[in-house]
Structure 1
Amino acid sequence: EEEKGQQIANVANWQRARNALAPSGETSHSHMADADEVVEPEVHDGHGLGYLQQTARDRRNVFAALMEAVKTHSLGQISHALYDVGGEYRRNM
């Protein structure tokens, strides 16, 4: 239980330290960009969850956007952002 608490604290500290490097408005607890919000690549330069979400909505290759997002966001933040765009992933059987 102590180790679990330490890991949660480590993630919170990492997010505080790294999210400050992300473009403003792209981190906070509200990780989702509005569906009607246009996120310009020039403004975000490939960074941030909003750009990642817009890339997924446009059905473009998200690899480059993911590589930038992992520099400033945790796996949980990225997963939630993508879930908000596309819902739950279900593998074809």
Structure 2
Amino acid sequence: MYRVLLIVLILIFWLYGCAELDGSEQKEVFKQESKEEVLQIIPKKPVRIELRRTAKGKYSWTLRGEDVEEIIKIDGRLRSVIAEKENKTK
């Protein structure tokens, strides 16, 4: 008897939860107003480094890229790393 009553109660609650109570009740849906607000993020192109070593053991390089500040920063790093290596080998 208790099992039948329990099953009936479960079915009633399940059907009650699935049924619409009032058709005028609507949930708010997020709507995007315009597509102009969406910004595309364009990834930066990496700086290309061509590193060469001369017969005397000295290094030279060519840097290519679109961002001048990034090229200058990388050039400074290369100069400091090469200078450290030359000081260690002497």
Bigger radius of gyration: 2
Higher strand proportion (structure 1 or 2): 2
Shorter-chain TM band = under 0.3
Which fold has the larger relative contact order, with Cα–Cα distance below 8 Å and residues 6 or more apart in sequence? 1
Higher helix proportion (structure 1 or 2): 1
Q: What is the TM-score with the length of structure 1 in the denominator?
A: 0.26
